[in-house]
Amino acid sequence: MKITPRSLFFRVAIGILALTLSTGAFAETPREQLTHAFRLISGANSDYAGHRRRAMTEIEAAAKELGIEVRGEVSQNERQWKSDQQMSEARRLLVDARDHMEKQDRDRVAGHVETAIKEVEDALRMSEPAKDEIAHAYRLVLAANGNYAGHRRRAMTELQTAASVLGVELKGELGEHERQWKSDEQMTEARRLIADARDRLEKQDLEKITVHLEGALTAIDESLKVK
């Protein structure tokens, strides 16, 4: 059978649509991200000393203000994630929803969303030791694709030095969901981890590596300014 340019175009278009549907590649709206974050948090097994429940309460309040439904299911793949992975992805979704929400929606629910983000961050702090956060941050920066005008490399060097001083092993793998993040998302999460580690390290450890953590934070901040 002869394939005309028109029929070839439609075949390609149908193939792309099928791939998009199968991979869930349609971008979520900020409102959809709120509901997605709620479902991930509700699916996490750990209570995280109440932080998980408080985050859910804040998202429910935001959803009520916007007139949206938060109930539903996450994907089979997401249901297989560990609780920390679900909470970390929920945080990313909440931050992205906050940053891209229409002004009239953001004005109505900003307080609830910010509090939910904080509760998720507090939950994650309980789970990962401060020294491990440094290694985790390094792996995120390492995985980022952009060179960021050399700032990414400087951040890695500072984290390598800090880890060496503390005797922390940097080798390891990111979660599947973190590997799928865009580079800026990986760098932003690395910054959060470094700042959190700085705030939670024991005094004797912090005194040894403060300059390196601050150097890494500065380098990441400069990286995120590069367009």
Q: Return the percentage of the chain with pLDDT > 70, whole number.
A: 88
> What's the token pair of residue 59?
């998202």
Token pair 């390598």 in the structure block, residue: 160
* Nearest CA among 62, 25, 215, 191 for reference residue 121: 191
Instruction: Spell out a b/e string for 42-67, using b for 16 or more CB atoms within 10 Å of the CB, else e.
Output: bbbeeebeebbebbbebbbbbbeebe
DSSP code of 28?
P
Give the range among 16-25, 101-110, 125-134, 147-156 with minimum mean pLDDT: 16-25
Q: What is the CA radius of gyration of the chain?
A: 20
The angle at the Cα of 181, spanning 180 to 186, to the nearest 5 degrees, equals 130
Closest CA to 187 of 149, 125, 86: 149
Q: Are 105 and 119 in contact (CB under 8 A)?
A: no
Instruction: Give the Cα separation of 138 and 39 in Å (integer).
Output: 29
State the average pLDDT over residues 104-121.
95
Nearest to 223 by CA among 144, 136, 149: 149
Is the pLDDT at 14 greater than 60? The verdict is: no
Q: Structural domain boundaries of the chain?
A: 30-125, 130-225
pLDDT digits (tens, 9 = 90+) for 158-190: 999 999 999 999 988 887 778 888 999 999 999
